[in-house]
Amino acid sequence: MNLQNKKFPWHIVVFLAPAVVIYSMFSALPLLDTLRLGFYTSNDAGVHSFVGLANYHTILFDSDWSKAFWNAMLNNVKFFAIHMLLQNPIGLLLATLFSLKGLRGARTYRTLIFLPTLLSVVIIGFIWQLILSPLWGVGEGLMTHVGLGDYFAPWLGQESTALLTLGLVSVWQYVGIPMMLIYAALLAVPEEVLEAAYAEGASSFRIFWQIKLPLILPTLGLVTILTFVANFNAFDLIYSVKGALAGPNYTTDILGTFFYRTFFGYQAQIGSPTMGAAVATLMFLVILLGVASYFYFVQRKLTRYEL
Amino acid sequence: MTSISSLSSAAATSAPVVRQSRFANLGRIWVHVVLCAYAVIALFPIALIMINSIKSRDAIFDNPLAFPTPETFSLIGFEKVLHNTNFMLYFGNSLVVTLGSLVLIVLFGAMAGWALSEYKFRGNRLMALYLALGIMIPIRLGTVSILQLVVSLDLINTRTALILVYTAQGLPLAVMILSEFIRQIPKELKDAARCDGVGEFKIFFQIILPLIRPAIATVAVFTMIPAWNDLWFPLILAPSDETKTVTLGVQQFIGQYVTDWNSVLAALSLAVIPILVMYVIFSRQLIRGLTSGAVK
């Protein structure tokens, strides 16, 4: 900075080194190394040999593998769709209600509704498993109470409903995140703009649709991409409720559980680090594609709107 | 501040406000109905578990929705879990891992954030971008290589391995939040210190670090919760009984004892309580962090 600072700036190195070293060793380089490992195969002795795209060819074109992979991919897309259709609109609704001026108890509501988001997915999964199990009957009992008892079914165990049910549980847990981010964005909407609109007699609905919503679009974009990354990387809920096999009959299998099984193996199949690395690489490409298109299409356009 | 501005706006437009107030009140009731209903949905499952964890086995099955009475009150589940299992050990492990990574994330994150925001050097922006990549790309995707690395460093089944991984996971966001915060510190403070010949390290540790305490609290909350709740890395890097965390312990415990409902519910409650306590302590900080734009 100053002229006297000609000597090597050791202090910068000392300040940066710990963070950069740990981050590189346990995050960035393992990620790169995983991308590399996807091109190798290992024999029983654990010796790696280069096989080019063979692993990817197996995953995408071998009949058993590709069926499992595309099943997991499709389920993951559904899982994401459930979050986009329910979690984020509900989060938006709740945040809009909290941010109403002078609402009593707003902080209490906010605090209470955010709570499930903080709990481990493992705990959440088991709680819902207990509630929805026909054995304990809390869910069935409650539904009977309101006259819907006949509609109760072991949703988590049926092929047709298991994924949707797990998606709803996940929505229930994580709705706090979009809620809080949107709430923060709504707080940042300039007071004068809203007051001017009120003064001119605009209805609350019109103010929401024509002023608040356009102004918080960047946050909705951020919520979308965060949901995308979280969903395409999800694992814990499915694993703790349905195990590594993502039953019934793989109907709840998503990329995270597929990756785990490929890497560690299960029942008849032996796990393979290199095949696992290939699956992780495919997940990486999916996430990268999502993040890149968010920055390219959404972020760029939004900054233009802001001006 | 809000009250003053709302007063002035009410004064400016007093006529329509009075006319609207009736409708507004009706509207407010619906808002409360919706929010109350959602709060019940959010809390009911958690309350259900905790209420039933302190009931006798028969009462859990006969009337799961009832509060415990003196006749049905029982702590047998907690007794069994605490006496017959390693639950306290798992708690200790979670505590060591979470606090260990927290200290490293805050210290190293603040140091890096300071270096990136204070000094101009070649590659500064590139370095910032490199560290920021970790915010969007999940560390889990590198698991295959992380496992190999941990094995080759002979850290498998150690809490150190988990601390290092969580530190790497938490650093990107911490560096971003903290460097943003450090940038807002007035230049004069640092310049005055430099004029007095105070060294760079002293400036950082004695002036800057105490000043960024609020941001540190935000970072702490954001990094503690994922580390405490993680299942993936304990499952892969430290599954041995001596190094299990609470999350992994609960996951496996419930699988084994699924018929012993008292123990299962007690285990679930025990695993929930630390987070509840943490939430009560930090909730204001968490909300302040979120609403002050710490994660934008």
Contact B229 A121 (CB under 8 A): yes
Quote the pLDDT of residue B214: 84
Contact B141 A180 (CB under 8 A): no
Quote the pLDDT of residue B11: 43
Least confident segment among A166-180, A186-200, B231-245:
A186-200
Contact B145 A31 (CB under 8 A): yes
When mean pLDDT is compared over A49-58, B153-162, B184-193, the highest value belongs to B153-162
Contact A199 B143 (CB under 8 A): no
Contact B131 A273 (CB under 8 A): no
Mean pLDDT of chain B: 86
> What are phi and psi for residue A251, nearest 5 degrees?
-75, -10
**Letter for the amino acid at B295?**
V
Quote the pLDDT of residue A304: 58
Across the A:B interface, residue pairs with CB atoms under 8 Å apart total 260
What tens digit of pLDDT does each residue of B104-160 get?
A: 999 999 999 999 999 999 899 999 999 999 998 999 999 999 999 999 999 999 999
Instruction: Write the ipTM.
Output: 0.89
Least confident segment among A99-113, B28-42, B142-156, B200-214:
A99-113
What mean pLDDT do residues A154-177 have?
A: 93
Terminal-residue alpha carbon distance, chain A: 34
Q: Which residues of A touch B291 (CB under 8 A)?
A: 180, 183-184, 187
Quote the pLDDT of residue B26: 64
Q: Which residues of A touch B279 (CB under 8 A)?
A: 115, 118
What mean pLDDT do residues B183-207 have?
A: 90
What mean pLDDT do residues A173-201 have?
A: 89
Bigger pLDDT: A269 vs A287: A287
Quote the pLDDT of residue B281: 80
Give the residue among A108, A111, A99, A114 at the shortest CA–CA distance from A175.
Answer: A114
What are the C-alpha distances in Å from A179 to residues A10, A211, B184, B288? 44, 18, 27, 14
Search chain B and give the residue with CA nearest A291: B136
Quote the pLDDT of residue A302: 67
Contact A34 B200 (CB under 8 A): no
pLDDT at B9 over 50: no
Contact B131 A20 (CB under 8 A): yes
Contact A113 B42 (CB under 8 A): yes
What tens digit of pLDDT does each residue of A109-163 get?
A: 888 899 899 898 888 998 898 889 888 878 888 888 888 878 888 888 889 999 9
Give CATH for domain A54-301: 1.10.3720.10
Alpha helices per DSSP H over chain A: 10-23, 29-37, 54-61, 63-82, 88-98, 106-118, 121-132, 138-145, 162-174, 176-187, 191-199, 204-207, 213-215, 217-231, 236-242, 255-264, 273-293, 300-306
pLDDT at A193 over 60: yes
Contact A15 B114 (CB under 8 A): yes
Quote the pLDDT of residue B24: 60
Compute the distance between CA of residue B250 and CA of residue A87 in angstroms, rounded to an integer: 27
What mean pLDDT do residues B80-100 have?
A: 92
Bond preceding residue B68 cis, omega within 30 of 0: no
Least confident segment among A68-72, A75-79, B65-69:
B65-69
What mean pLDDT do residues B28-52 have?
A: 91
pLDDT at A83 over 90: yes
pLDDT at B76 over 60: yes
pLDDT at B17 over 50: no
Quote the pLDDT of residue B292: 65
Q: Which B-chain residues 249-278 have CB contacts (< 8 A) with chain A?
A: 250-251, 254, 264, 268, 271-272, 275-276, 278
Search chain A and give the residue with CA nearest B234: A236
pLDDT at A305 over 80: no
Contact A277 B295 (CB under 8 A): no
CB-closest option in A101, A142, A175 to B6: A101
> Which residues does B218 contact at the CB level (< 8 Å), separation at least 6?
B177, B285, B286, B288, B289, B292, B294
Least confident segment among A181-190, A221-230, B95-104:
A181-190
CB-closest option in A37, A102, A136 to B145: A37
Question: What pTM did the predictor assign?
Answer: 0.89
Bigger pLDDT: B86 vs B17: B86
Q: Does B171 touch chain A (CB under 8 A)?
A: yes
Quote the pLDDT of residue B19: 45
Mean pLDDT of chain A: 89
Q: Does B19 touch chain A (CB under 8 A)?
A: no
Quote the pLDDT of residue B1: 37
Confidence class for position A306, pLDDT limits 50, 70, 90: low
Helix (H, G, I), strand (E, B) or coil at A104: coil
**Letter for the amino acid at A254?**
I
Quote the pLDDT of residue B234: 95
Q: Which residues of A touch B39 (CB under 8 A)?
A: 109, 112-113
Rg (CA), chain A: 24
Least confident segment among A68-72, B73-77, B253-257:
B253-257
Quote the pLDDT of residue A225: 93
